[in-house]
């Protein structure tokens, strides 16, 4: 699941993941949308923007973790703010932390290391 309030970025990332892998990426255009979707069908991996309006990234991560229940979705911080990137690196709620712009090729490598083998 790709979570960002920027529609174009969410759509770009979902499209790229869909084209270049056999995974399904679902868009979420805001924290509420993301939490609702994670509750219904928890994703393997959540790419989470850290600076959505009216939401703290760390708090959103915690709520997503709770919403995903036993699935324990891996949460990746994705942010344009270098300080937040560093803060998320040292935060146990995040599996990884990436500074925008994420290199699309490297992102795939990272995702494939995290996707559970079926």
Partner 1 sequence: MGLSDFITLESEKIMAEFEAFAMQQLPAAADMDVAALRDHARQVLAAVALDMLQPQTKREEREKSLGHATKADGAGVHAAEIHGAMRAASGFDVNQTAAEYRALRASVIRLWMESGPKLGRDEVFELVRFNEAMDEALAASILHFASEAARMRNLFLGVLSHELRTPLSTIMTSGHSLVLAAQQNKPLPAAAERVLRGSRRIQSLLDDLLDYVRSGLGEGMRVSPKDVDMGQVCGKIVAELRANNPGRVIELETLGDPKCVCDEERIAQAISNLVGNALKYGPADAPVKARIDGSAIDQISVSVQNGGPPIPEATRESLFEPLVRGANTEREGYNLGLGLYIVREIALAHGGSASVESDAQAGTVFTVRLPRTASDAASAAFPGLRMN
Q: Is 101 in the site for partner 1 (CB under 8 A)?
A: yes
Q: Using the minimum distance from each CB to partner 1, give the nearer residue, 15 or 72.
A: 15
For 57, the token pair is 């990234």
The CA–CA distances, whole Å, from 103 to 7, 16, 49, 62, 106 equal 18, 11, 15, 26, 5
CB under 8 A: which stretch of 34-42, 60-68, 69-77, 94-102 binds partner 1?
Answer: 94-102
Q: Is 12 in the site for partner 1 (CB under 8 A)?
A: yes
Q: Is 13 in the site for partner 1 (CB under 8 A)?
A: yes
8 CB neighbour count, 10 Å cutoff: 8
Smallest distance from partner 1 to CB 11, Å: 7
Q: Using the minimum distance from each CB to partner 1, give the nearer residue, 63 or 100.
A: 100
52 CB neighbour count, 10 Å cutoff: 19
Determine contact, residues 58/92, Cβ cutoff 8 Å: no
Q: Which residues bind partner 1 (CB under 8 A)?
A: 4-9, 11-13, 15-16, 19-20, 51, 53-54, 79-83, 99-105
């Amino acid at each position: 699941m790709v979570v960002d309030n920027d529609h174009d970025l969410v759509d770009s990332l979902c499209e790229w993941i869909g084209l270049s892998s056999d995974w399904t990426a679902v868009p979420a255009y805001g924290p509420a949308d993301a939490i609702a979707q994670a509750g219904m069908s928890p994703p393997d991996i959540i790419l989470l923007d850290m600076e959505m309006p009216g939401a703290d990234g760390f708090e959103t991560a915690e709520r997503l973790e709770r919403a995903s229940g036993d699935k324990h979705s891996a949460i990746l911080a994705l942010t344009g703010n270098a300080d937040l990137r560093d803060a998320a690196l040292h935060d146990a709620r995040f599996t990884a932390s990436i500074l925008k712009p994420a290199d699309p090729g490297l992102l795939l490598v990272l995702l494939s290391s995290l996707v559970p083998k079926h």
